Structure 1
Amino acid sequence: MSAGSEERVGFFTDTSVCIGCKACEVACKEWNAIPEDGLSLSGMSYDNTQALGASTWRHVAFIEQPRPEGRTELPLTEPASANGPRHGDGGPAGDMRWLMSSDVCKHCTHAACLDVCPTGSLFRTEFGTVVVQEDICNGCGYCVPACPYGVIEQRPDDGRAFKCTLCYDRLGAGQEPACAKACPTESIRFGPLDELRERAALRVDQLHKEGVTEARLYGHDPDNGVGGDGAFFLLLDRPEVYGLPPDPVVTTRDLPTMWKHAGAAALSLLGGLALSFALPGRGRR
C-alpha cells in the first residue's frame, strides 16, 4: 500500500463459532445485488451453494465428519428411549460432527489476478483489498486460473469476472462489510489486519487451553506463499477438509524469472541471426 493510504483491513473468520445460518450469504447478495445462483437442492448436504463463484461471493461450507476421539460429547437431545439411540448417546448420529465455515475471497497480499489482468479491471484499493471493476473487465478470463484459491469466476451470460469486493462502497462510507454486520455469532470479524491477527492468536491459545488442540490459523502468515491473506481463518481441521489448498502459492511467482530467461533467449537468437549474416559477407571478400 502506498504512503497516505488507509490502514489495511480484512476479515478474520472464526469457524469454531460459525452456526451455518447463511446470514452472511444473504446479506452479501442483498447489498451487492448479486443474482441468485440456483435454488435447487444439491442432494449432497445442507450446503447448496457448494462453492464460491461469480454469483456467490460468500459461501458457507457444511462438512459432516466422524467426531474426533477424545472430544467432549454434549447431550444434544433427551436420553435414549425405547425407539433407539439419540444424537448424544454415541450412536450413529452421536459419532458425527458438523464443521461450518464461511469462505470468501482472500484478498491476497501478492495477488496473481492483479498480475495477469490486461485491462486494469482488477486493482488494489486504498484499504489493501482487491476489487474487480466490472465496467472495465473484457472477459478474457486470465484471472480465473491465476487465483490459487479458485475464487474468481466468469458469469456465463457475458463472460465478465466477479468476486468479493469486501464491500468497497461500504468501506468508503466508514461502514463494515455487510456479511460481518449480519453475522449473529461474530464468526466473521472485520477490522485492521494487524489487530485481527493478534486477536486470532489469542483465540487459538484459548481453544488449545480448553482442549481443542486441532484449532489452527490459515492464511494469517505474511511469509506464506501469497504474502499473507487479507481474509484468514481459524480452522478446526486440516485446510483440505474445508476445500482450501494446504500451501497456496501465488501463481505468478516465477514470472520475473521467466521473462528474464525469455529475454536472454531472444538476445541469443538475435545474436545468432546477426552472426549468420556477417559470416557470408566475410567469405565474399
Structure 2
Amino acid sequence: MGFFTDTSICIGCKACEVACKEWNQVPDDGFVFRATSYDNTGSLGADTWRHVAFIEQPGRARDGREPGGPDGTGSAGSNGAGSNGAGSNGGFEDIEGWLMSSDVCKHCTHAACLDVCPTGALFRTEFDTVVVQADVCNGCGYCVPACPYGVIDRRERDGRAFKCTMCHDRQVGGLEPACAKACPTDSIQFGPLDELRARAAERLERLHADGRSEARLYGADPGDGVGGDGAFFLLLDEPEVYGLPPDPVVTTRDLPAMWGWAAGAALSMAGAVAISFLGRSR
C-alpha cells in the first residue's frame, strides 16, 4: 500500500497536517513564526509527519524580464494563485504564485533506516510500509543520517525517533490514512501501489497533453536508487525546487562491501600475528 501525492491539485490547506497530528497525537511544532514564508511548519520532523510546503515563485518584472540578473534569467510558474501587484521589489512583483506539495516519509522499498536500526524498532509492516516502534527505540539516532530524504528525526523531549507510520493502525482496521481521508482535493491518494502508479501515469499524460511539459513523477520508478518509494509524487518542477534529492540512493548500499573489506583486513591481521608468533617460537 502507498501514497500518490498529486501536487498539481494541492491547494495548501494543510488539512492533512492537522488530521495527521490529531489522529496520531503528534505534538505541536513549537509555534515558531519563521517570517519567511506562509509555510509555518518548515520541514518534516519528529513532530511533523506531514508537511505542506509553500514554495514561493518569484514574479516577473513589469517589462517582462524575470528576476535573477541583469539579463533577466530565472524561472517562474506555479499551480498557485498569481500576484495581484500588491507589492514590488526593484520593479518585480514579489510573488507570482506558489508550488504546493504535501511531503511525507517515502516508505522506501530498500529502506536504509531498517538496515542500521540496532534494536528492531524500525520494521516493515504487512502493508510493506516502514514503521518506528517508539517503545523499542533506544534513541541511538543511526536512522537519522541513514535516511536519503532527511525524513526521520529525534524528538527533543526524549531523544527517540519518530516519523509517518502511514496510519498503520487505521490500515489494520480497514481505513485509509487520516491525511488522505482529510484531503479535500484528493491530492493525497491512498491504495495499492500498482494501481496508484497506473493512475499517476495517466494523470501525467493528461498534464503533458495540456502543455504542462514540466510535470514529472518522482519516486514511482521501482528501478531507482531506493527501489521505488511507497509514497511518490507528481511534481510541477525539478525535485530540488521541492527540497527533494534528484537521484536518491539507499545510503547503506555499500555496507556489504565494507563488511567484506573489514573481514578481509581482520583475517590478514590475524594471519600476520600468527606468522609473527610462529617465527618467534622457532
TM-score by length of 2: 0.89
Q: CA deviation at 1:157?
A: 1.1
CA distance in structure 1 between the aligned counterparts of 2:58 and 2:5, rounded to whole angstroms: 23
Letter in 1 for 2:175: Q
In the alignment, which residue of structure 1 is the partner of 2:126? Answer: 126
In the alignment, which residue of structure 2 is the partner of 1:14? Answer: 6
Q: CA deviation at 1:228?
A: 0.4
In the alignment, which residue of structure 1 is the partner of 2:29? Answer: 37
SS in 2 for 1:101: strand
CA distance in structure 1 between the aligned counterparts of 2:163 and 2:27, rounded to whole angstroms: 13
Q: CA deviation at 1:122?
A: 0.3
In the alignment, which residue of structure 2 is the partner of 1:210? Answer: 210
CA deviations over 1:214-265 (Å, ceiling 9, x no partner): 0000011111111100000000000000000011111100000000111111
CA distance in structure 2 between the aligned counterparts of 1:128 and 1:229, rounded to whole angstroms: 11
Q: CA deviation at 1:280?
A: 2.2
User: Taking structure 1 as reference, are residues 103 and 263 closer, same or farther at Cα in structure 2, changes over 3 Å only?
Assistant: same
CA distance in structure 2 between the aligned counterparts of 1:113 and 1:42, rounded to whole angstroms: 30
In the alignment, which residue of structure 2 is the partner of 1:190? Answer: 190
CA distance in structure 2 between the aligned counterparts of 1:212 and 1:250, rounded to whole angstroms: 31
Q: CA deviation at 1:93?
A: 4.4
1:100-139 maps to which residues of 2 (within 5 A)? 100-139=100-139
Residues 79, 100 of structure 2: 8 Å contact kept: no
CA distance in structure 2 between the aligned counterparts of 1:165 and 1:98, rounded to whole angstroms: 28
- 2:16 aligns with one of 12, 19, 24: 24
Letter in 2 for 1:30: E
In the alignment, which residue of structure 2 is the partner of 1:144? Answer: 144
Moved more, 238-247 or 59-68: 59-68
| Number of positions where the alignment pairs a residue of Structure 1 with one of Structure 2 | 265
CA deviations over 1:29-53 (Å, ceiling 9, x no partner): 0000011112232101100100000
Larger Rg over CA atoms: 1
Segments of 5+ residues of structure 1 without an aligned counterpart are 1-8
User: Taking structure 1 as reference, are residues 75 and 200 closer, same or farther at Cα in structure 2, changes over 3 Å only?
Assistant: closer
In the alignment, which residue of structure 2 is the partner of 1:162? Answer: 162
CA distance in structure 1 between the aligned counterparts of 2:271 and 2:81, rounded to whole angstroms: 78
User: Taking structure 1 as reference, are residues 273 and 179 closer, same or farther at Cα in structure 2, changes over 3 Å only?
Assistant: same
Say whether residues 1:178 and 2:170 are aligned partners.
no
In the alignment, which residue of structure 2 is the partner of 1:57? Answer: 49
CA distance in structure 2 between the aligned counterparts of 1:268 and 1:186, rounded to whole angstroms: 59
Q: CA RMSD in A?
A: 2.3
Q: Percent identity?
A: 71
TM-score by length of 1: 0.88
CA distance in structure 1 between the aligned counterparts of 2:80 and 2:228, rounded to whole angstroms: 36
CA distance in structure 2 between the aligned counterparts of 1:96 and 1:42, rounded to whole angstroms: 21
Q: CA deviation at 1:66?
A: 3.5
User: Taking structure 1 as reference, are residues 252 and 278 closer, same or farther at Cα in structure 2, changes over 3 Å only?
Assistant: same
